A = this chain, B = another copy of it.
Amino acid sequence: MLHKDRLFPAEGVARDVARKLYQVAEKLPIVSPHGHTDPSWFAENEAFPNPTALFIQPDHYVFRMLYSQGISLESLGISGQPADPREVWRIFARNYYLFRGTPTRAWIDYEFENLFGFTERLSEKNADAFYETIDKKLKEPGFRPRALYEQFNLEVLATTDAATDTLEHHAKIRASGWKGRIVPTFRPDGVVDAEFAGFKDNIETLGKLTGEDVSSWKGYLDALRKRRAFFKEMGATATDHGHLTARTADLGEAKAAELYGKIYKGTFEAADVELFQAQMLTELAGMSVEDGLVMQLHPGSVRNHNTKVYEKFGRDKGADIPSPTEYVRALRPLLSKYGNETGFTLILFTLDETSYSRELAPLAGHYPALKLGPAWWFHDSPEGMMRYREQVTETAGFYNTCGFNDDTRALLSIPARHDVARRVDCAFLGRLVAEHRLDEDEAFELIEDLTVNLARKAYKL
Contacts and interface: CB of A to CB of B under 8 A. Distances in A.
Contact of A69 (B9, B351, B368): B368
A322 B362 contact: yes
B321 A359 contact: yes
Contacts of A364: 68
A319 B370 CA distance: 13
Contact of A14 (B10, B70, B328, B436): B10
Contacts of A67: 366, 368
A91 to B, nearest CB: 15
A170 to B, nearest CB: 32
B328 A326 contact: no
Contact of A302 (B68, B329, B432): B329
B14 A340 contact: no
B323 A324 contact: no
Interface in A353-412: 353-354, 357-359, 361-368, 370, 378-379, 381-384, 390-391, 393-400
The residue among A11, A358, A397, A442 with the most chain B CB atoms within 10 A of its own CB is A358
Interface stretch (A40-48, A219-227, A306-314): A306-314
B358 A322 contact: yes
Contacts of A24: none
A5 B436 contact: yes
A446 interface: yes
Contact of A11 (B11, B306, B439): B11
A335 interface: yes
A224 to B, nearest CB: 25
A453 to B, nearest CB: 12
B308 A437 contact: no
B322 A307 contact: no
A434 B10 contact: yes
A133 interface: no
A439 B397 contact: no
Interface stretch (A100-108, A148-156, A182-190): A100-108
A435 interface: yes
The residue among A98, A363, A366 with the most chain B CB atoms within 10 A of its own CB is A366
Contact of A391 (B340, B342, B383): B383
Interface string A288-332: 000000000000001001111100000000110111101011001
A26 B14 CA distance: 26
A6 interface: yes
B322 A359 contact: yes
A8 to B, nearest CB: 7
A323 B318 contact: no
A323 B332 CA distance: 12
A115 interface: no
Contacts of A378: 357-358, 361-362, 394-395
Contact of A101 (B13, B106, B432): B432
Given A97-B445, A378-B395, 13 more contacts: A2-B436, A6-B436, A10-B431, A64-B366, A100-B397, A101-B438, A103-B394, A302-B328, A308-B339, A308-B340, A309-B340, A323-B359, A324-B354
Interface of A: 2-3, 5-14, 64-65, 67-70, 97-103, 106, 121, 302, 305-309, 318-319, 321-324, 326, 328-329, 332, 335-336, 339-340, 342, 351-354, 357-359, 361-368, 370, 378-379, 381-384, 390-391, 393-400, 431-432, 434-439, 442, 445-446
19 contacts: A6-B436, A7-B435, A11-B11, A11-B14, A12-B12, A64-B366, A70-B368, A98-B399, A102-B393, A102-B395, A103-B394, A302-B328, A321-B362, A321-B363, A323-B329, A357-B378, A362-B378, A378-B394, A382-B437
